[in-house]
Chains A and B, each alone.
Chain A
Amino acid sequence: MSLFSSLIQSRDRNAERMDDGRLGQAVKPHYDIVDSKDGYALTVYLPGVSKEGLQITAENNELRVVGRPAWKRPDGWTTLYNEATEVPFELALEHDNSIDVEKIHAELRDGVLRASLPKAEALRPRRIAVN
């Protein structure tokens, strides 16, 4: 991925846009979203992030996940080789207010965040009785 992020400008441009002074450089984590009748199941891979370093915010029509790796290279350790990123993870998902942010349930385990994003009542499929 490092090759791609240096070759393709779009990733850098995104990092700049996401930078609002407090985060600096960030990488987009791997994630997937599965759609179901009641909501969306979001899985975000955040290796090295503990509960303390994780921040999920819902504002306007954006859901933002920021994960800061808990580990810092101890003094006295020399890096021989490294492929892992040391910058925070940031994922911003835009939605059209179709999810019920009050009912979001999230769980972080072994570096994987699993969140259920329930669909807002008004958007769920509903059967209408015909008299």
Chain B
Amino acid sequence: MHMVRYANQNNRSSGSGLATVSPWTGLENEIDRLFNTALTNFGASRFGHQFPVGVYEDANNTYVRAELPGVNRDEINVEMVDGSLNISAARKQKNGDVEESFSFSRSISLPDGIHTDRVAATYENGILTVTLPKREEAKPKKISVTVN
């Protein structure tokens, strides 16, 4: 990370700037930088174990979208077990000559009434979308009532 250089503004000596520039600007920048560094590392470690998901539904299906950038399609596993959806994936990363492998998995509990044998999945732009069709009885029904 030699590439990232930060210019630390030192406002201590600027007499005219005092009215407009907070004397804490330099310190604030430094604190921001520290937090950013800390959060980047924090994110990386979190990312190694879990990945963000979103669950959506419409009248016919429930959808699960999982952010899995850069994984091999053949290393994505999607399973339905006891009303939860298990997603596991692995990513190979080359670091110089050493190849590292990371694996992640996640279990998401889903509402009842899913056709477990008709689950389909697609992978595009690093997002896995799982489509889970609802059983007939779980779909919303329209009941017409005649008002006299």
Contact A50 B3 (CB under 8 A): no
Question: In the complex the two chains form, what is the Cα distance from A111 to B67 in whole Å?
Answer: 9
With A33-B1, A34-B95, A94-B6 known as contacts, the answer to whether A81 contacts B54 (CB < 8 A) is yes
Question: In the complex the two chains form, what is the Cα distance from A14 to B28 in whole Å?
Answer: 11
Contact B32 A14 (CB under 8 A): yes
Identify the B interface with A (CB < 8 A). Answer: 1-6, 28, 31-32, 35-36, 39-40, 42-44, 46-47, 52-59, 62-63, 65, 67-71, 93, 95-96, 123, 125-127
Contact B69 A45 (CB under 8 A): yes
Question: In the complex the two chains form, what is the Cα distance from A71 to B67 in whole Å?
Answer: 12
Q: Most chain-B CB neighbours within 10 Å: which of A4, A35, A93, A111? A: A111
Top-3 shortest CB links A-B: A111-B126, A111-B69, A112-B70
Question: In the complex the two chains form, what is the Cα distance from A49 to B127 in whole Å?
Answer: 9
Interface majority SS (helix, strand, loop, mixed), chain B: mixed
A13 partner residues in chain B, CB cutoff 8 A: 28, 32
B54 partner residues in chain A, CB cutoff 8 A: 79, 81-84
With A33-B1, A48-B67 known as contacts, the answer to whether A1 contacts B57 (CB < 8 A) is no
Besides A4-B39, A45-B70, A48-B127, 19 other CB < 8 A contacts?
A1-B43, A8-B39, A10-B32, A13-B28, A43-B93, A45-B47, A45-B126, A48-B67, A73-B56, A76-B59, A77-B63, A80-B55, A82-B54, A83-B52, A83-B54, A84-B53, A84-B54, A84-B67, A95-B3
